[in-house]
Amino acid sequence: MHQSSSKVCFVAVAFALAACSTDVRPEDGEATGSTQSALTTTVLEAENATGAGVVGSDATASNGQLRAISASYTGATQTFSTTGTLVSGVVRLRRSGTCVGGDPWYIVRIDGLSVAAGNAPPATWTDVPISGSLAIGTHTVEYYDRYTGTGCSIQFDKLTLTLNNPPPPPITLTLEAEGAVGSGVVASDATASAGQLRSFGAPYTGATQAFVTSGPLGSGSVRLRRSGTCTGPNPYFELRIDGVARASGSSVPAAWTDYPIGGPLAAGNHTLEYYYRYGNPGCAVQFDKATITYQP
């Protein structure tokens, strides 16, 4: 007769399943759209597996159905894909009927390796922790009947996985200055991004451009240079977002130069302005592009 046994082994396992899942949202005041991971709970219903056993209706089962297997050395399989790491997992099962010849023995395998095994518990649904490790990718779970005696079956309800999904990758927006609306003139230049730039020769003028972010600013820069021969003070520029200068300076070099964009920026609709604060006859400020990187 087999003895009941189970163990818990929490491991880093990647999962993202095309089954029901529930996000665990941050509490009020927690950072969002940052490098946080997101916990999700995913459920694989055993009745959706393919292979041995029969699907039965039961009001106490998840989704109202279960898979009952009563033939030894048979199983049913189900495929899923993974993109995160496992925090915990359980398989819910029970035995049914009057077992003759010993308690039934089950195995739950993922990719052919046992992650849970033991004597099927009594008639009450029992959550058995799973163990093991998996790489990110496509996997197969198998609900397996290792042994059942006459008059009973192993009933599998579901496999539940709590996953720690990595944050989405940052998104980078490239805003070409020639796409702005307002002052300045658009000129072609093979050294500029997308082959064009916006040149300002008159001080106290600017051009604006709308953009949208779905997370906070991670980093940003504006690329510009001066052109011509300046006969007085060096030209001074500002890069404004929503009316606030986020980059500024004078002594702008003649070569393309990237100036960092500073300050916090929340998710939402924004307006960027390339602004020529002041200059002098004979030279201009040429804006190439602004780059905004944010974490969705």
pLDDT, tens digit, 9 for 90 and up, residues 104-126: 999 999 999 999 999 998 889 99
Q: How far apart are CA 254 and CA 285, in angstroms?
A: 9
CA 109 to centroid of chain Cα atoms:
27
pLDDT class of 163 with cuts at 50, 70, 90: confident
- Give the domain 20-165 fold: Jelly Rolls (2.60.120)
Q: How far apart are CA 78 and CA 143, in angstroms?
A: 9
pLDDT at residue 36, rounded to an integer:
63
DSSP 162-176: EEEEPPPPPEEEEEE
Q: What is the pLDDT of residue 268?
A: 96
Dump pLDDT digits (tens) for 17-38: 334 444 433 333 333 444 566 8
* CB-based contact 244:263 (threshold 8 Å): yes
- Both structure tokens of 146: 């290792």
pLDDT digits (tens, 9 = 90+) for 275-291: 998 877 788 999 999 99
Q: Is the pLDDT of residue 176 over 80?
A: yes
> What mean pLDDT value characterizes the chain?
85
Residue-level pLDDT at 13: 34
Question: Which architecture characterizes domain 171-294 according to CATH?
Answer: Sandwich (2.60)
Handedness of CA 164, 168, 169, 170 (dihedral sign): negative
Token pair for residue 205?
Answer: 């003028």
Classify residue 8 as exposed, middle or buried by CB count within 10 Å of its CB (0-12, 13-18, 19+).
Answer: exposed
Report d(CA 235, CA 276) in Å as an integer: 8
| pLDDT confidence bin for 134, thresholds 50/70/90 | confident
Contact yes or no for 206/285 (Cβ under 8 A):
no
Note the pTM of the prediction, 2 decimals: 0.61
Residue tagged 């030279």 (tokens): 283
Q: Where are the domains of the chain?
A: 20-165, 171-294
The stretch 238-249 carries a mean pLDDT of 96
Task: Please check whether the two domains, 20-165 and 171-294, share a CATH topology.
Answer: yes
Q: What is the pLDDT of residue 24?
A: 38
Residue 54, pLDDT above cutoff 90: yes
Count CB-CB contacts under 10 A for residue 246.
23
